[in-house]
């Protein structure tokens, strides 16, 4: 006896997929019924032979209405006979999926061999090669890979797909340093302009992609690593929503991310105009030896009537490393990527795989002769974990050193005076460099260690022309308002306002203010104090030899009063320590500090 195969819902019969006499299985789709603009399968539900068709295509039916009648047959007949079934392709054979896979593949380097060869011929890596080196394997999810340039009025669709993949900007989320950090600690938003697409210029659609990625970074509180090579704004787009494009949100939103998440910028080759503006917003700028960075490229310079210049004449690395624009100079893109991973690691947390040098060597870093210079970087390298020190802006403001490092795996920011440069006196550039680094550490919860050896603020008519009064005060205002723990170690000289500024305003501002045995303190340098305070006595001397002897005697008296051991007796500092114990002090403070549970503590980090 035949069984009814009914419609399961009300709708219109679109098509009958079987004919009388056909063999069907329980899974065979016998008809399609349209309901609310969607086609629904009518499945046989019984194995057998179709004996009659109850409706015609176009008929409106109710739920339960018969569509076909099927007479059950012996199972062996179903196995032996050809059964009507859905022959639509499945899996990757589906046309829709195949089209998607093909489109994604067109955006990969393998689809652009000529462009890749040209890129490699200039000793550069492709954007995708850089990102593949930055993020851990198989961790990258890309936003907007199918986007093309907004140039449909001047180029064919096929041309846009072939030559403007991703509109010249690749970005998404991936893990960085996943071998050392787990979970969201390893996650980052990674972005790169693609110089093989319209010279890495900023197009209408890739601006929108940046907006999206910046929003994702803000909402997820993820750091951003940005390869910014490119020629700035693109004049050739034809589908722009307005006239000037000044309502673009990318610069607003990226600027707002400052102080909220770490921002890492990498420049190689040419980086001009809008690309350079985004680079300059970053917390750290890493640039290769062949980088040229400028707020205006050759076309803008010539257009302004300022002359004709080759791209290599605008903002070369030798200029930008010394003026403070570039924080770290890399040999090439591979080196820059490795440095970016190292830099980012300080914001990802502590590590367990650490070692340190023999701390006994620190006892002899500072010479016994208080007038002899020494290499303060030897103190930094010896004090902190082996191979953990990363110095920023080394070629700018040479009297001040700013570095990230680790103590027993914990990240810290290190600020040190360099006595090899102006005896460690603080200049306007040095104050700016240290104050800005304090902001960076404070914004992202990195404790600060200051190594003090300074005769004070630099003095003289020439330095006052640099607006020292304002610049040096940045150290006081910034240091007094940081929320992260600070530890200050006086290596030798601790004099005047400069020493106070290195400690956040006072010897009592840090959670620990310590001195090595070579430490010496005073309101001003000993020699200057003698010349000012004992001028009459010195002038009363009848011979130079007598005057020199008195001068040395007076300096010696002040040194005895101001040496670290004497100052500690008055509890102006917390202790005078064997240099070997320095790490133990720092670790004690770091281990005692409660974890930061609030959000960002600063509205932004100064770009300078």
Same domain for 43 and 113, yes or no, is: no
Query: Quick check: 275 and 229 in contact, CB under 8 A?
Result: yes
Is residue 307 situated within a structural domain? yes
Q: Is the pLDDT of residue 89 over 90?
A: no
Backbone angles phi, psi at 538, to 5 degrees: -70, -40
- Please tell me the predicted confidence (pLDDT) of residue 303: 86
Same domain for 453 and 582, yes or no, is: yes
Is residue 322 situated within a structural domain? yes
Same domain for 148 and 24, yes or no, is: no
Q: What is the CA radius of gyration of the chain?
A: 35
Q: What is the C-alpha to C-alpha distance for residues 279 and 293, in angstroms, rounded to an integer?
A: 9
For residue 539, what are the contacts with CB-CB under 8 A and spacing of at least 6?
none
User: How confident is the model over 246-256, as pLDDT tens digits?
Assistant: 777 888 999 99
Same domain for 370 and 385, yes or no, is: yes
User: Which tokens go with 485?
Assistant: 């723990």
Same domain for 482 and 578, yes or no, is: yes
- Please tell me the predicted confidence (pLDDT) of residue 60: 96
Provide the Cα torsion 173, 174, 177, 183; round to 10°: 80
Is residue 599 situated within a structural domain? no
Mean pLDDT of 86-105: 84
- Please tell me the predicted confidence (pLDDT) of residue 299: 84
Is residue 79 situated within a structural domain? yes
Tally helices (H) and strands (E) across the chain. 21, 25
Local confidence band at 85 (pLDDT 50, 70, 90 cut-offs): low
Local confidence band at 325 (pLDDT 50, 70, 90 cut-offs): very high
Which is higher by pLDDT, 503 or 93?
503
User: How confident is the model over 34-68, as pLDDT tens digits?
Assistant: 999 999 999 999 999 999 999 999 999 999 999 99
Question: Percent of the chain scored above 70 by pLDDT?
Answer: 98
User: Which tokens go with 455?
Assistant: 């005769």
- Please tell me the predicted confidence (pLDDT) of residue 329: 98
Q: Let me know how long the chain is.
A: 608
Q: What is the C-alpha to C-alpha distance for residues 162 and 108, in angstroms, rounded to an integer?
A: 10
Query: Quick check: 283 and 264 in contact, CB under 8 A?
Result: yes
Is residue 350 situated within a structural domain? no
Strands, E, within 7-94: which ranges?
Answer: 11-16, 23-24, 29-35, 38-43, 48-53, 60-61, 66-72
Q: Is the pLDDT of residue 532 over 70?
A: yes
Same domain for 433 and 535, yes or no, is: no
User: How confident is the model over 539-552, as pLDDT tens digits?
Assistant: 888 888 888 888 88
Mean pLDDT of 144-149: 95
User: Which tokens go with 426?
Assistant: 């603080």
- Please tell me the predicted confidence (pLDDT) of residue 84: 66
User: How confident is the model over 96-127, as pLDDT tens digits?
Assistant: 999 999 999 999 999 999 999 999 999 999 99
User: How confident is the model over 415-440, as pLDDT tens digits?
Assistant: 999 999 999 999 999 999 999 999 99
Pairing type for strands 169-175 and 284-288 reads unpaired
User: How confident is the model over 149-197, as pLDDT tens digits?
Assistant: 989 999 999 999 999 999 999 999 999 999 999 999 999 999 999 999 9
Q: Say what the pTM is.
A: 0.89
Pairing type for strands 48-53 and 23-24 reads antiparallel
Same domain for 120 and 42, yes or no, is: no
In the sheet with 23-24, reading across from the earlier edge strand, the strands are 3-6, 66-72, 48-53, 23-24
- What would you measure as the largest C-alpha separation in the chain, in angstroms? 138
Strands, E, within 159-288: which ranges?
Answer: 169-175, 187-193, 224-227, 263-267, 270-272, 284-288
CATH number of 79's domain = 2.40.50.100
Crossing angle of the two packed helices 468-479 and 428-443, in degrees rounded to 10: 20
Same domain for 121 and 264, yes or no, is: yes
Residue 11's domain spans which residues?
A: 3-87
Q: For the chain, give the mean pLDDT.
A: 93
Same domain for 530 and 511, yes or no, is: no
Q: What is the C-alpha to C-alpha distance for residues 400 and 419, in angstroms, rounded to an integer?
A: 9
- Please tell me the predicted confidence (pLDDT) of residue 567: 93
Q: Which region holds residue 198: left if phi is over 0, alpha if psi is between -120 and 50, else beta?
A: left
Is residue 353 situated within a structural domain? no
CATH number of 410's domain = 3.90.226.10
- Please tell me the predicted confidence (pLDDT) of residue 439: 97
Same domain for 534 and 515, yes or no, is: no
3-state SS track over 297-313: CHHHHHHCCCCCCCHHH
Number of independent structural domains in the chain: 4
- Please tell me the predicted confidence (pLDDT) of residue 246: 79
């Amino acid at each position: 006896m035949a069984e009814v195969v009914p419609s399961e819902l009300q709708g219109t019969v679109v098509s009958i997929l079987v004919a009388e006499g056909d063999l069907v299985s329980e899974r065979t789709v016998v008809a399609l019924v349209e309901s609310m603009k969607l086609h629904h399968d009518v499945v046989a539900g019984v194995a057998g032979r179709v004996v009659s068709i109850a409706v015609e295509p176009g008929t409106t039916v109710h739920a339960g209405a018969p569509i076909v009648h099927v007479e059950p047959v012996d199972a062996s007949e179903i196995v032996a006979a050809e059964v009507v079934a859905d022959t639509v392709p499945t899996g990757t054979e589906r046309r829709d999926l195949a089209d998607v896979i093909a489109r994604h593949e067109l955006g990969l380097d393998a689809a652009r061999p000529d462009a890749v060869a040209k890129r490699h011929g200039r000793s550069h890596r492709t954007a995708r090669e850089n990102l593949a080196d930055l993020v851990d394997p198989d961790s990258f999810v890309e936003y907007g890979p199918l986007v093309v340039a907004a140039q449909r009025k001047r180029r064919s669709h096929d041309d846009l797909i072939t030559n403007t993949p991703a509109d010249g900007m690749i970005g998404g989320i991936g893990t960085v340093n996943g071998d050392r950090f787990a979970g969201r600690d390893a996650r980052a938003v990674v972005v790169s302009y693609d110089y093989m697409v319209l010279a890495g210029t900023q197009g209408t659609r890739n601006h929108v992609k940046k907006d999206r990625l910046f929003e994702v970074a803000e909402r997820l509180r993820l750091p951003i690593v940005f390869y910014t090579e490119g020629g700035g704004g693109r004049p050739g787009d034809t589908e722009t929503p307005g006239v000037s494009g000044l309502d673009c949100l990318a610069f607003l939103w990226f600027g707002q991310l400052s102080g909220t998440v770490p921002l890492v910028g990498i420049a190689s080759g040419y980086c001009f105009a809008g690309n350079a503006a985004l680079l300059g917003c970053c917390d750290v700028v890493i640039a290769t030896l062949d980088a040229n960075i400028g707020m205006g490229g050759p076309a803008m310079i010539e257009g302004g009537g300022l002359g004709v210049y080759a791209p290599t004449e605008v903002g070369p690395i030798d200029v930008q490393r010394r003026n403070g624009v570039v924080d770290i100079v890399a040999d090439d893109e591979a080196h820059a990527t490795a440095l970016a991973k190292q830099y980012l690691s300080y914001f990802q947390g502590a590590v367990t795989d650490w070692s340190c040098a023999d701390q006994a060597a620190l006892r002899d870093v500072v010479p016994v002769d208080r007038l002899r210079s020494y290499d303060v970087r030897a103190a930094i390298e010896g004090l902190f974990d082996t191979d953990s020190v990363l110095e920023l802006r080394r070629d700018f403001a040479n009297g001040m050193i700013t570095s990230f490092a680790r103590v027993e795996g914990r990240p810290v920011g290190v600020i040190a005076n360099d006595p090899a440069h102006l005896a460690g006196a603080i200049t306007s550039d040095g104050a700016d460099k240290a104050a800005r680094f304090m902001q960076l550490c404070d914004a992202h919860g990195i404790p600060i260690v200051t190594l003090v050896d300074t005769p004070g603020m630099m003095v003289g008519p020439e330095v006052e022309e640099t607006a020292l009064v304002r610049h040096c005060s940045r150290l006081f205002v910034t240091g007094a308002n940081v929320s992260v723990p600070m530890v200050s170690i006086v290596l030798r000289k601790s004099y005047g306002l400069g020493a106070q500024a290195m400690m956040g305003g006072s010897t009592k501002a840090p959670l620990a203010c310590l001195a090595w045995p070579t430490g010496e303190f005073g309101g001003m340098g000993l020699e200057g104090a003698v010349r000012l305070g004992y001028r009459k006595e010195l002038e009363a001397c009848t011979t130079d030899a007598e005057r020199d002897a008195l001068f040395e005697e007076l300096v010696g008296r002040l040194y005895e009063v101001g040496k670290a051991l004497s100052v500690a007796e008055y509890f102006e500092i917390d202790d005078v320590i064997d240099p070997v114990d320095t790490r133990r002090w720092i670790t004690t403070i770091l281990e005692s500090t409660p974890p930061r549970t609030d959000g960002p503590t600063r509205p932004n980090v100064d770009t300078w």
